[in-house]
Chains A and B, each alone.
Chain A
């Protein structure tokens, strides 16, 4: 019977699929949407240097948290904040001592129009705009930071009726990019590449005006015995990754790098 003869063959091919060389493993990384692009760049270098393969699942931090809590197969979690990884740690879902700050977000006030946003953010005080986009402060760290900046500048009241909220920082950026909001608080990483603003005009908000947006990484229980997960986290703390992270407009934590 052909099937009987084929069966061992198919088993063999299945086995060869499953037993990829031990030194080239997959690592499943859940990543906050704002860090997707730098992660891709880091993953490409990581794969070249180590042979391990990064499988990235971008998402909103709150969603990823819910998925992790309900058995998602992620091994490393790159959060958009520092509270969610800490929460997971306190719930026993992470490898002890694996938590660290991999990047510090920078907030920018941005408009796609050249020369519209000045380098002190004075435009906020004027009346030339109808809509100011921010990320949802209840759920997005960049949104919370934006409200802190407005508080510091005593503009919370004045901008209240102009505020439109994106569900996350990507959507806040979309509102501005499509011209529906004249300007908005975005992540510098969204409008910054290789040391300069990619288009339009922006004010890099001074760190003193908002609490640091610490983005923490953690190794999850599912990645405990995966050498690739360990290697990836090491790589993320290394000099090559640091260079990529900085080139996307993030600051680095001195304790990590």
Chain B
């Protein structure tokens, strides 16, 4: 009896690459997103509303449009491309690093907004209390703020990861469909559909859905507290 789902080596390579991309992107987004969300939650700057709007922009633009502008900006004629070339990195289009940058931009609001809400819900009071007890700013952040914001952190991680796994338009525009470098599952799946190879498409889609469901379910099951607001 043939196996129920027959994945080709290139399907498996695409799955692996997708996991890698989503993990690296999520990690990068947490590193960048936590300070950004912190600033947005507590700043009194009049630029706050402007910054919030900028963070939310990737929600508005269609991914292929974001991808097209990244293609222009990150290419040899764009200023990002010229900057990375000046740094000696070359241009980032058609590279894994380029996909990480594109995906991070695209998933940014999904990480920053839950974090910002969690920090806002927590408020300044626990931090002030900790300060009066003599906790240093670092202590306050790592032993008070982060544990209190844990539900938001979890939501941000899950959404950032899941959104990157499902990403298609940006990768399509700046990836160049290179095996092991930029050919992620969504693009591979689209290839199968376009080539009318429906059985392969169904197999890969099933794997993606089952895997994503399992990850999301496990994460949500672990969490007993209500959402950090999002």
Where the two chains meet, the residues of A that have a C-beta atom closer than 8 Å to any C-beta of B are 60, 62-63, 65-66, 87, 131, 133, 136, 138-139, 163-167, 171, 174-175, 178-181
CB closest residue in chain B, given A175: B176
Q: Nearest Cβ in chain A — how far from B84, in angstroms?
A: 12
Q: Is the CB of B176 within 8 A of A136?
A: no
Choose from B93, B177, B194 the contact partner of A180 (Cβ within 8 Å): B93
Q: Is the CB of A136 within 8 A of B91?
A: no
Does B172 touch A at the CB level, under 8 Å?
yes
Q: Is the CB of A180 within 8 A of B75?
A: yes
Bound complex: CA of A179 vs CA of B195, how far in Å? 28
Choose from A60, A65, A131 the contact partner of B94 (Cβ within 8 Å): A131
Does B72 touch A at the CB level, under 8 Å?
yes
Q: Is the CB of B194 within 8 A of A138?
A: yes
Q: Is the CB of B71 within 8 A of A167?
A: no
Q: Is the CB of A167 within 8 A of B172?
A: yes
20 inter-chain pairs at a CB distance below 8 angstroms, sorted by A residue, are A60-B194, A63-B194, A66-B193, A66-B196, A87-B196, A131-B94, A133-B176, A139-B195, A163-B178, A165-B176, A165-B178, A167-B190, A167-B194, A174-B71, A178-B75, A180-B74, A180-B91, A180-B94, A181-B94, A181-B176
Q: Is the CB of B195 within 8 A of A138?
A: yes
Bound complex: CA of A166 vs CA of B176, how far in Å? 6
CB closest residue in chain B, given A87: B196
Q: Nearest Cβ in chain B — how far from A65, in angstroms?
A: 7
CB closest residue in chain B, given A60: B194
Q: Is the CB of A164 within 8 A of B75?
A: no
A164-B94, A165-B177 given; A65·B75 CB < 8 A: no
Bound complex: CA of A60 vs CA of B172, how far in Å? 14
Does B77 touch A at the CB level, under 8 Å?
yes
Q: Is the CB of B93 within 8 A of A171?
A: no
Residues of A within 8 A of B196 (CB): 62, 65-66, 87
Residues of B within 8 A of A65 (CB): 196
Residues of B within 8 A of A167 (CB): 172, 177, 187, 190-191, 194
Q: Is the CB of A62 within 8 A of B177?
A: no
Does B55 touch A at the CB level, under 8 Å?
no
Residues of B within 8 A of A166 (CB): 176-177
Q: Nearest Cβ in chain B — how far from A149, in angstroms?
A: 19
Q: Is the CB of A62 within 8 A of B193?
A: yes
Does B173 touch A at the CB level, under 8 Å?
yes
A-B contact count (CB 8 A): 62
Q: Nearest Cβ in chain A — how far from B190, in angstroms?
A: 7
Q: Is the CB of A178 within 8 A of B77?
A: yes
Q: Is the CB of B173 within 8 A of A171?
A: yes
Bound complex: CA of A66 vs CA of B68, how far in Å? 26
Q: Is the CB of A180 within 8 A of B193?
A: no
Q: Is the CB of B71 within 8 A of A136?
A: no
Bound complex: CA of A166 vs CA of B91, how far in Å? 17
Bound complex: CA of A136 vs CA of B93, how far in Å? 17
Bound complex: CA of A166 vs CA of B183, how far in Å? 11
Q: Is the CB of A179 within 8 A of B77?
A: yes
Choose from B75, B178, B187, B190 the contact partner of A179 (Cβ within 8 Å): B75
Does B166 touch A at the CB level, under 8 Å?
no
Interface centre among B72, B172, B173, B177 (most CB of A within 10 A): B177
Q: Nearest Cβ in chain A — how far from B9, in angstroms?
A: 15
Q: Nearest Cβ in chain A — how far from B197, in angstroms?
A: 8
Q: Is the CB of A131 within 8 A of B176?
A: yes
Q: Is the CB of A136 within 8 A of B191?
A: yes
Other than the given A164-B94, A175-B176, A180-B76, 19 more pairs (CB < 8 A) read A62-B194, A65-B196, A87-B196, A131-B176, A136-B177, A136-B194, A138-B194, A139-B191, A139-B194, A139-B195, A164-B176, A167-B172, A167-B194, A171-B172, A174-B71, A175-B71, A178-B77, A180-B74, A180-B75
Residues of B within 8 A of A179 (CB): 75-77
Q: Is the CB of A174 within 8 A of B68?
A: yes
Q: Nearest Cβ in chain B — how far from A186, in angstroms?
A: 15
Residues of B within 8 A of A165 (CB): 176-178
Bound complex: CA of A9 vs CA of B93, how far in Å? 60
Bound complex: CA of A147 vs CA of B192, how far in Å? 19
Bound complex: CA of A166 vs CA of B194, how far in Å? 13
Bound complex: CA of A7 vs CA of B75, how far in Å? 59
Interface residues of B in 65-84 (CB under 8 A from A): 68, 71-72, 74-77
Bound complex: CA of A62 vs CA of B77, how far in Å? 33
Q: Nearest Cβ in chain B — how far from A158, in angstroms?
A: 16
